[in-house]
Structure 1
Amino acid sequence: MATSSTPPNGAPDDIAAHLMDQAMGHLFSAALRTAAQYRIADHLAEGPRTPEQLAVATDTHAPHLRRVLRYLAARGIFREDASGAYQLTPVARALRTDVPGSLHPAVMMITDELFLRTSARMPEAVREGGAAFERLFGVPLFAHLAADPAQRELFDSGMSSLSGPVDEAVVAVYPFPQTGTVVDIGGGRGGLLRAVLRRRPQLTGVLFDQPPPLAHHLLDGDELKGRWRTEEGDFFSSVPRGGDVYVLKHVLHDWADEDCRRILRTCRAAMDRGTRLLVIDSVLPPGNAPHFGKTMDVAMMTVLDGQERTAQEFSTLLSAGGFRLTRVLPTAAFPSIVEAVAE
């Protein structure tokens, strides 16, 4: 019988099971959140444990927990052994809270009710255009987060977690200069800038964003001492001048084209001719090939009225902002590096 990861073979029963399994995808999000909330992966770090043992450790109901773990194991999250105990899989290890690159905060953010409720309003977004989030909550996402510190913390920690593997993939591929200044526009807590400065000991950096993420930046430490500064501001109004490389990571995909053109024109006004701009976002492939960017694209559509883009769409957008696309570099993570120069 088909599962969520097995395409149907054409038999009616197989197609029905596959389609219904896909339709119940919200249950997988709920089960994954349950495992993350009760930190099941942390409790399995020292070895396999039965659902009964895990229930005692997490103060949960053992029969229900067993059923959730069985469901997650069928999808590669955890594995049940012959004795009925559960153990970590490589995927489940990323749910541990005590490991470098933990995706636990990202899972907690993505599966939060804030975004699940928004996704449920996708039919409205398709019918009317615009972001479902704003119609549901009355204000755009970032205005909502500004008024709710707890949700802002959830969002910033989740985005920092999601960005960790991307940061390392970017610095592994892109030839940042040996000297000069990198300006990270809308750089959140600064994970990418930290990775860049560690890779290039003679570089300096500017982390530019709004106060909430900057208050929890990741740039402290003797290794980077004296090589960075933070600057608060709004990238629709102005950005720091004097950089040799400017970076927009997971920024443009938050916005519709006209807003992106405003951001790009603001960046261009601060840059000398020939200065490099790196846009780090998913670059959508043609055809029916699976790509995480296609999932992100519908998420951006409902939450922010943003979008992921093709290489041609990036070229057109950059040209309107005063840049020329020079190349697109894939990375080992889901985004690519779109390199452009100021004209």
Structure 2
Amino acid sequence: MHEVRPPEPEEIGAAVRQVLGDCLGYLYPAALRVAVRLGVADLLLDGPKDAARLAEEAGADAASLHRVLRFLATRGVFREDAAGAFHLTAASHVLRTDVPYSVRSTALLLTDRMYWDATGRLEDTVRRGRTVFDEIFGAPLFGHLDRDPEAAETFDRGIADLSVIEQGGIADSYPFPATGTVVDVGGGPGGFLRTVLAGNPGLRGVLYEQASVLAKHQLDDPAVAGRWETAEGDFFRSAPTGGDLYVLKRVLHDWDDAHCLDILRACRRAMTADSRLLIVDAVVPAGNDPHPAKLYDIAMMTIFDGKERTEREFEVLLAGAGLRLLRTLPTPGTVSIVEAGLA
């Protein structure tokens, strides 16, 4: 029988502090959301201000706001000086509304009740093996977005702004050919496809999406003029033929294996022997070290029946669709590019 070693006496205090601190970890995103909603980062653009001044400008209680900002300063989101004034930091700069690298809208999405309420039911999700999002909101996530315009706006803006930040680094991480056609399957409004085409003037592109998404596409850019087209369809059933490269960017992690196989098989039927499929998703590494993919995997579990996958899980999934993993390329961000071809 394996003997379990209890912690040493000097380890117990640190362990208690860690566990109890982690139990209150939910207070950080709650406080962060307050600062974002009140626009504190924008209010500090003309210089440091104390909580009383910020509260007056934001329409909040000064004492309560001071306590929230003091707490956020312990996480480096703001900095409080000896006189009690708060300053911008690198972390608060990315919460501004006037910078191209802003994650303000993404922070509002990730702290929205769509995530918050579903996370509070994580035990039910773990016990049942499926998200309980539909029990909370009356429909699965995408059904909820279809009937709640405000939630859809929050979701679409948060995802789109995240894509703007990461897409350049992703596009630069893959050796695109000099010529050919890139089919972005489920590519949203087309920001990533536009970035790829702008950086590779010999390529043409096809944005494959639902009609409601295509109506808001972002491909009207002189840098890619005459080199793109849109195609309407359902990626569970089909994909446009004639592509040299097929892209699934942040698509598969939204879905369980059965739905992913439908998507992959649709792509497989459209591909030729020379085509390549690029899956852009987080890849979960082995070991106990922290990694964003392990964090995002829990988020996927709570609101979708999706998941972040290991490289081995991608191999198995691809094999089930008649594809094989060729290589995995890192990017500067949290996702990798899993390249596949016909098996």
Scaled to the shorter chain, the TM-score interval is over 0.9
Which is worse superposed, 309-318 or 224-233?
A: 224-233
The one-letter amino acid of 1:213's match is V
Which is worse superposed, 164-173 or 90-99?
A: 164-173
Check conservation: 2:114, 2:303, Cα contact below 8 A: no
Equivalence for 2:107? 107
Aligned identity (percent) is 48
Equivalence for 2:282? 282
Equivalence for 1:22? 22
Deviations 1:113-167 (A, max 9, x none): 1210001111001111111212322321111111112211111111112222321
Secondary structure of the structure 2 residue equivalent to 1:79 = strand
How do residues 127-166 of structure 1 correspond to structure 2 at under 5 angstroms? 127-166=127-166
The one-letter amino acid of 2:199's match is R
Q: Over the residues paired in the alignment, what is the CA RMSD in angstroms? A: 1.5
Equivalence for 2:6? none
Equivalence for 2:340? 340
The one-letter amino acid of 2:227's match is R
How do residues 252-331 of structure 1 correspond to structure 2 at under 5 angstroms? 252-331=252-331
Deviations 1:30-79 (A, max 9, x none): 11111111111111223222212211221111111111111111011111
Deviations 1:277-332 (A, max 9, x none): 00011111101011110011111112111111111110111111121111001111
Check conservation: 1:185, 1:235, Cα contact below 8 A: yes
Distance of aligned partners of 1:192 and 1:44 in 2 relative to their CA distance in 1, 3 Å threshold: same
In the alignment of these two chains, the number of paired residues is 335
Which is worse superposed, 247-256 or 40-49?
A: 40-49
Can you give the 5+ residue segments of structure 1 that lack an aligned partner in the other structure?
1-8
Which is worse superposed, 272-281 or 200-209?
A: 200-209
CA apart distance, 1:205: 1.2
Secondary structure of the structure 1 residue equivalent to 2:26 = helix
Distance between the aligned counterparts of 2:178 and 2:84, measured in 1?
Answer: 54
The one-letter amino acid of 2:58's match is T
Which is worse superposed, 223-232 or 267-276?
A: 223-232
Distance between the aligned counterparts of 1:68 and 1:182, measured in 2?
Answer: 47
CA apart distance, 1:96: 0.8
CA apart distance, 1:107: 0.5
CA apart distance, 1:10: 4.8
Distance between the aligned counterparts of 2:89 and 2:63, measured in 1?
Answer: 22
Check conservation: 1:156, 1:188, Cα contact below 8 A: no
TM-score by length of 2: 0.94
The one-letter amino acid of 1:141's match is L
Check conservation: 2:115, 2:302, Cα contact below 8 A: no
Distance between the aligned counterparts of 1:208 and 1:57, measured in 2?
Answer: 45
The one-letter amino acid of 1:231's match is A
Equivalence for 2:60? 60
Distance between the aligned counterparts of 1:204 and 1:48, measured in 2?
Answer: 49
Equivalence for 1:6? none
The one-letter amino acid of 1:276's match is R
Distance between the aligned counterparts of 1:10 and 1:330, measured in 2?
Answer: 40
Equivalence for 1:4? none
